[in-house]
Amino acid sequence: MHRLIIVRRGETGIFQAIQDNLDRWPEGTRVIWDRRERERRTSIRPVILERRSHERRIPPDGMWYTHGFIVVEASEPAGAAGAATTTEAG
């Protein structure tokens, strides 16, 4: 298992603090920025046949709002499945 820390956009201080203290996290932990800039859907359009049986995106953990980041356990290392792995503040 690999650990991925996703930091909310704009939380530069949090990103840098985690990056500077990665030695306190298990080996293989990566820090990345949240890639989402906004909700992609801007309007709800009617469809003839709804193929989705449920909402795919679940609400983020409370840490997202209180701490500015979330920790995700991943079966593959960050970047192995095409994930953005930017570790620079910005």
Report the pLDDT value the prediction gives residue 17, as an integer from 0 to 100.
Answer: 96
Q: How many residues does the chain have?
A: 90
What residues make up the domain containing 15? 1-36
Mean pLDDT taken over the chain? 77
CA distance 25 to 21: 8
If one compares 39 and 45, the residue with the highest pLDDT of the two is: 45
Q: CB within 8 A of 85, min separation 6: which ones?
A: 30, 32, 78, 79
For position 21, what pLDDT does the model report? 95
9 located within any domain: yes
Q: Into how many domains does the chain fold? A: 1
Confirm whether 52 is domain-assigned: no
Residue 51 in domain? no
Give the pLDDT confidence score for residue 6 in this predicted structure: 93
The answer as to whether 29 is a domain residue is yes
Whether residue 21 lies inside any domain: the answer is yes
Task: Please report the pLDDT score of residue 79 as a whole number.
Answer: 59
- Cα 73 to Cα 82: distance, rounded to the nearest angstrom: 16
Which tokens is 87 given? 């570790």
Question: Does the pLDDT of residue 83 top 60, yes or no?
Answer: no
Please report the pLDDT score of residue 7 as a whole number. 95
